[in-house]
Amino acid sequence: MKSSFKDIINSDIPVLIDFYADWCGPCKMLAPILKQVKDERGDAVKVVKIDVDKNPSVASKFQVRGVPTMLLFKNGKQLWRQSGVLQKNDIVGVIKSHS
């Protein structure tokens, strides 16, 4: 069963959305960092990757102009947004501040 984007972000734990593209170099650098974030935070965060080329309507809805762009949601509300590559500790810090 495929969840809708709205269902995914309507969570009481933080949901980190990573808008990426297969052709994007910085996106490839961010992928292992996000895996480390997930490994460290475990069930305290959901990490969802969205390919902007396959999901242009979602990318457009959130005005994603460049990739990678990360958005943090909780209970359906956008709490944070950042474009570009961040280090694991920076991302974990943001998630903790909104947990």
Annotated catalytic residues are 24, 27
3-state DSSP helix/strand/coil % of the chain, to nearest 5: 40, 25, 35
Beta carbons of 20 and 27 less than 8 angstroms apart? yes
By DSSP bridging, strand 69-74 and strand 46-51 are unpaired
Beta carbons of 14 and 47 less than 8 angstroms apart? no
Beta carbons of 78 and 8 less than 8 angstroms apart? no
